[in-house]
């Protein structure tokens, strides 16, 4: 059973701070990793994908992958109240067409 | 460029009834996946269609069935509805091949079973 674990939160950070969201996965054969943002009552929206160990930056977002530790994280710099949402981690194993999702971490950015 | 479109957006059904949800994939995408998302949970994979065939299926009972049409659009059918089927149903599309790694979601269909 492939598992993707996330702390459900909520994670509360002040405006302007760095928010750090974490995700662990059980399948060592995993090859593709995704972060989705989901606002309340809306569908998930892709933020970033990462495939290799290390960091990948896109604007205020940085995804970090450590395959040896089976750990992927998302950093949000200069957090804004508009970043308040649930962040879903998804992991796809090699040879699989289907990503497995975690239950998501709720992020609250307060002014 | 139209994204993934789903219909209807909201619907209410009675226990025991049947429901059909529809999805049109993003332009250029030929693979459609369906997910169920209960409140406070992550999306749970139901099944994926490619080339009009069910390619992979998650841990859902046979009451859940689907279809893909030649134009790549898809339907999700749920028979004998239970209260526990109340959820957000998400359709996701992707292109086949290496680029098919990434899936893109539609706005979802909210199903309430009473």
For A17-34, give the DSSP string. Answer: SPEEEEEEES-TTEEEEE
Residue contact B104–A46, C-beta within 8 A: yes
Mean local confidence (pLDDT), A71-79: 98
Q: How far lies B65's CA from each of A39, A74, B34, B48, in Å? A: 28, 35, 10, 11
Residue contact A43–B58, C-beta within 8 A: no
Which residue from B40, B50, B102 is facing A34, i.e. has the nearest CB?
A: B102
Tell me, rounded to whole angstroms, the distance of Cα B109 from its chain centroid.
9
Mean local confidence (pLDDT), B20-45: 95
Residues B87, B43: Cα–Cα separation, whole Å = 10
Instruction: Say what the pLDDT of residue A95 is.
Output: 76
DSSP A81: G
Q: pLDDT band at B1, cuts 50/70/90?
A: low
Pick from B1, B47, B43, B38: nearest CA to A45: B43
* β-strands A105-110, A61-66 pairing: unpaired
Q: Cβ contacts (< 8 Å) between A45 and chain B: which residues? A: 105
Q: Does A3 touch chain B (CB under 8 A)?
A: no
Could you report the per-residue pLDDT of B61-113, keeping only the tens digit for each? 999 999 999 999 999 999 999 999 999 999 999 988 655 578 899 999 999 99
Instruction: Say what the pLDDT of residue A2 is.
Output: 73
Residue A30, pLDDT > 70, answer yes
CA distance A12 to chain B (A): 17
Instruction: Say what the pLDDT of residue B100 is.
Output: 57
Which residue from A8, A46, A100 is facing B102, i.e. has the nearest CB?
A: A46
Residue among B34, B59, B101 with most chain A CBs within 10 A, to mutate: B101
Tell me, rounded to whole angstroms, the distance of Cα A108 from its chain centroid.
15
Q: Does B105 touch chain A (CB under 8 A)?
A: yes
Average pLDDT, chain A: 94
């Amino acid at each position: 059973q492939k598992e993707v674990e996330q702390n459900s939160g909520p994670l509360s950070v002040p405006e302007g701070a760095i928010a750090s969201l974490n995700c662990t996965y059980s399948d060592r054969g995993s090859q593709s990793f995704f972060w989705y943002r989901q606002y309340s009552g809306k569908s998930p929206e892709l933020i970033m994908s990462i495939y290799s160990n290390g960091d990948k930056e896109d604007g205020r977002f940085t995804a970090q992958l450590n395959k040896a530790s089976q750990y992927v994280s998302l950093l949000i710099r200069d957090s804004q109240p508009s970043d308040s949402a649930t962040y879903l981690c998804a992991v796809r194993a090699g040879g699989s067409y289907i990503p497995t999702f975690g239950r998501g971490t709720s992020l609250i950015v307060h002014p | 460029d139209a994204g993934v479109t789903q219909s209807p957006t909201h619907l209410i059904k009675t226990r025991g009834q049947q429901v059909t949800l529809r999805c049109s994939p993003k332009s250029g995408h030929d693979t459609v996946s369906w997910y169920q998302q209960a409140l406070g949970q992550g999306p749970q994979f139901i099944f994926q269609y490619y080339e009009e065939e069910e390619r992979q299926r998650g841990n859902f009972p046979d009451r859940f069935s689907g279809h893909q049409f030649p134009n790549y659009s898809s339907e999700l059918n749920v028979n004998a509805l239970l209260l526990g089927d109340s959820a957000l149903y998400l359709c996701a599309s992707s292109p086949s091949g290496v680029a098919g790694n990434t899936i893109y979601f539609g706005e979802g269909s909210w199903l309430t079973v009473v």
